[in-house]
């Protein structure tokens, strides 16, 4: 399946806009049948060469706010780490299904959980930059599962710019997300430019989040990628299934 690295333009009004900054993408293969239960009604795992993937993506949110232009100081700037799966609906709209979105901003966590049906959690987080090194840390505060908080720690050394492979374009060029909202499955479209991607070497990885969401990986990690980020705009939800 050919995926374009640049999004088609949004139609209609903008729901929100934000900048995703200083991301690291880590991907592992998973069996589609093993993650079907995590898909909302009317959605199935998106596959390429018979395989789908799970991603761990830590980054910094910058300038998030409603509409296409308004930025909200403080509330729109925070650290985030998400665990995501890849999805497609019967209309052929590909996207992402989030299993968790760790955030260090409680107000944003509550708004996104109750307003958009997204599984945001409140966590203690940091993203520290020193030269060509990035270190991301996260420890969940709420909602807790078990006696110990789920944690994630990742340190990478950022390398030279790279050209993405067709698989890496397929994984990163996602122009929407699927979620349940008010008892319905919806697809929320987004648009942004092509990702500027760099190589990344992992210097340390200790993560509970992927396993903690119940996703069994079945193979070796793909090559890590880093991006300084993109500015993105989300459109209004489109109903997929009731």
For the chain, give the number of residues: 242
Report how far residue 4's alpha carbon sits from residue 45's, in angstroms, rounded to the nearest whole number.
19
Specify whether the CB–CB gap between 139 and 123 falls below 8 A: yes
Nearest Cα neighbor of 194 from 5, 1, 47 is: 5
Burial (0-12, 13-18, 19+ Cβ within 10 Å), 33: exposed
- What tokens were used for 39? 């898909």
Report how far residue 81's alpha carbon sits from residue 166's, in angstroms, rounded to the nearest whole number.
24
Per-residue pLDDT, 2: 57
Specify whether the CB–CB gap between 223 and 199 falls below 8 A: yes
Report how far residue 17's alpha carbon sits from residue 68's, in angstroms, rounded to the nearest whole number.
5
Tell the CATH topology of 17-241: Acetoacetate decarboxylase-like (2.40.400)
pTM of the predicted model as reported, rounded to 2 decimal places: 0.95
Specify whether the CB–CB gap between 192 and 17 falls below 8 A: no
Report how far residue 137's alpha carbon sits from residue 151's, in angstroms, rounded to the nearest whole number.
8
Torsion of CA 94, 10, 225, 51, to 10 degrees: 10
Report how far residue 55's alpha carbon sits from residue 35's, in angstroms, rounded to the nearest whole number.
13
167 DSSP assignment: H
Per-residue pLDDT, 69: 59
Specify whether the CB–CB gap between 155 and 202 falls below 8 A: yes
Per-residue pLDDT, 64: 87
Report how far residue 139's alpha carbon sits from residue 166's, in angstroms, rounded to the nearest whole number.
34
Report how far residue 111's alpha carbon sits from residue 102's, in angstroms, rounded to the nearest whole number.
13
Beta strands in the chain (DSSP E): 14-30, 43-45, 52-66, 78-89, 94-103, 120-130, 133-142, 151-161, 176-181, 184-191, 198-207, 225-235, 238-241
Domain ranges of the chain: 17-241
Per-residue pLDDT, 12: 87
Q: What is the residue-level pLDDT of the chain in tens, covering all 242 positions? A: 557 788 888 988 898 999 999 999 999 999 999 999 999 999 999 999 999 999 999 999 998 887 655 566 556 899 999 999 999 999 999 999 999 999 999 998 999 999 999 999 999 999 999 999 999 999 999 998 777 899 999 999 999 999 999 999 999 999 999 999 999 999 999 999 999 999 999 999 999 999 999 999 999 999 999 999 999 999 999 999 87
């Amino acid at each position: 399946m050919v995926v374009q690295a640049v999004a088609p333009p949004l139609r209609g009004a903008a729901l929100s806009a934000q900048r995703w900054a200083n991301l690291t993408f880590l991907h592992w293969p998973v069996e589609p049948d093993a993650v079907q239960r995590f898909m909302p009604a009317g959605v199935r795992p998106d596959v390429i060469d018979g395989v789908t993937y799970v991603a761990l993506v830590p980054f910094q949110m910058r300038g998030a706010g409603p509409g296409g232009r308004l930025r909200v100081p403080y509330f729109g700037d925070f650290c985030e780490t998400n665990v995501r799966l890849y999805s497609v609906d019967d209309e052929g709209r590909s996207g992402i299904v989030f299993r968790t979105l760790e955030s260090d901003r409680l107000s944003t966590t509550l708004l996104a959980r109750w307003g958009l049906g997204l599984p945001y959690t409140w966590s203690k987080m940091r993203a520290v930059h020193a030269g060509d090194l990035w270190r991301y840390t996260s420890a969940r505060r709420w909602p807790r599962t078990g006696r110990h908080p789920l944690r994630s720690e990742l340190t990478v050394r950022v390398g030279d710019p790279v050209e993405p492979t067709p698989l890496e374009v397929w994984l990163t060029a996602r122009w929407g997300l699927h979620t349940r909202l008010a008892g319905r499955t919806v697809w929320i479209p987004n648009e942004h430019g092509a990702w500027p991607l760099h190589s990344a070497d992992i210097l340390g990885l200790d993560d509970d989040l992927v396993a903690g969401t119940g996703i069994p990986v079945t193979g070796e990690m793909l090559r890590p990628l880093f991006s300084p980020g993109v500015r993105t705009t989300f459109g209004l939800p489109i109903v997929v299934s009731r």
